Amino acid sequence: MPATPAGSATRLAQLSIDTAALQHNLQRVKHFAPQSRVMAVIKANAYGHGVITAARALDEADAFALAMTAEALQLRAAGFEQRLLVLQGFQNSDELAQLAEHQIATVVHHESQLALLEKYSGTKLDVWLKLDTGMHRLGFEPALAPQMVTRLRACSGVAQIRLISHFANADVIDNNLNISQIESFIKVNNSFEFEASMANSSAVVGLPQSHFDWVRPGIMLYGSSPLVGRSAAELGLKPVMTLQAPVIAVKQLRAGDSVGYGSLWTCNHDTRVACIAAGYADGYPRHAPSGTPVQLKGQRCGLVGRISMDSLCVELGDLDVAVGDIAELWGQHISVDEVASCAGTISYELLCQAGNAANLV
């Protein structure tokens, strides 16, 4: 696998990032949204994959989106000259000036930002006006859009104006809110000639009528399914992150023995278990229950007992496993979506946690 090895030097668990898979997944985005330009979302250190690695691999994207100003400045400092957008925008006038200086576009989602822009008269920057079409997190009421646009047009520091909104429920294609959000966005968009953007990964795949000029995929680039009930493989996406760790002990158990903290799992037959050197300090979810799959020697084994800080245990039965064999916690064989679903969370969280634990760049 053409991977960038990027595990933490102090841990036995290792993360690797398959940059060719990242590029493949970008092509899948272009397949699903052939008419739109692609703004690759690489916030939160590219969902844990390392923002520099990801930005380098995704050089065929038309722009990059970050959550915060400091993330965009980090890319500029590393020499990236692509178009950048900060999805949460600036928090104060210093940040605003830095964005303009480095020609980074900003979202404006709140009156406090508009007020700062109205006082600002430095280098012009591009602004994406954020509309709250139904998520009720960030953005202006659509009915206020004409007024906001008038104010933005009067700002000497504003270059291009564009429109942006975000879905609350696009991971469920037939959720009623999706259509109402799209209609509300189109209504505003029709009265202006602005470029527009709505679609995250799930809408890239499931809501083609929301593609507009720019799509903003995140999770699908990293090879995880954005849709409830559809696997990444079905959508032609390839896993990018692999989390692996070696077996550090193999143990014979007798019926009635229990494994790990809290003695949560007890075997009702004689069996063997392997202890693997990955735990929640490596970003593996502590809430993964017994039975969560782990790949060893070409077989799927099941977790047993609680996840520890630096280790976890799997039942081997008769499987021939020795100290030093490498287990895959997620990657090619075990999808991160499956582990996330076992642990009652989403892949986004596991990818970010594992990436943070390994300090990828």
Ligand X SMILES: *Cc1c(COP(=O)(O)O)cnc(C)c1O
Q: Which residues are catalytic?
A: 43, 261
Q: Which of 22, 38, 41, 61 binds ligand X (CB under 6 A)?
A: 41
Q: Which one, 204 or 247, has the nearer CB to ligand X?
A: 204
Strand partners, 315: 273, 302
How many Å from the N-terminal Cα to the C-terminal Cα in the chain? 19
Site for ligand X in 50-89 (CB under 6 A): 87
> CA nearest 163: which of 203, 201, 192?
192
Among 11, 216, 238, 306, binds ligand X (CB under 6 A): 216
Closest C-alpha among 158, 164, 159 to residue 140? 164
Is residue 141 within 8 A of residue 115, CB to CB? The reply is no
Residue type, 246: P
For ligand X, the binding residue among 96, 219, 314, 334 (CB under 6 A) is 219
Least Å distance, CB 148 to ligand X, is: 18
Question: By CB under 6 A, is residue 181 in contact with ligand X?
Answer: no
Interface with ligand X (CB under 6 A), residue total: 11
Query: Which stretch in 16-24, 181-189, 215-223, 297-305 sits in contact with ligand X by CB under 6 A?
Result: 215-223
200 touching ligand X, by CB under 6 A: yes
The piece of 16-24, 175-183, 210-218, 293-301 that touches ligand X (CB under 6 A) is 210-218
Name residues contacting ligand X, limited to 109-168 (CB under 6 A). Answer: 166
Contacting range for ligand X; rule: CB under 6 A; set: 145-153, 216-224, 291-299, 312-320: 216-224
Residue number of the CB closest to ligand X reads 218
Q: How far is the CB of 230 from ligand X (least distance, A)?
A: 14
Pairing of the two strands 125-130 and 105-108: parallel
Q: What is the largest CA-CA distance in the chain?
A: 77
Shortest distance, position 216 Cβ to ligand X, whole Å: 4
With binding defined as CB under 6 A, does residue 45 bind ligand X?
A: no
Q: Is 351 left (phi over 0), alpha (psi -120 to 50) or beta?
A: alpha
| Secondary structure (3-state) at 233 | coil
Q: Least distance to ligand X from the beta carbon of 250, Å? A: 39
- 141 Cβ contact partners less than 8 Å away, ≥ 6 residues apart: 131, 132
Q: Closest approach of Cβ 1 to ligand X, in Å?
A: 23
Residue 163 belongs to what H/E stretch?
Answer: strand 158-164
Could you give the C-alpha distances from 139 to 144, 168, 181, 260, 329, in angstroms and in order?
A: 10, 13, 13, 47, 38
Return residues touching ligand X (CB under 6 A): 41, 43, 87, 166, 200-201, 216-219, 226
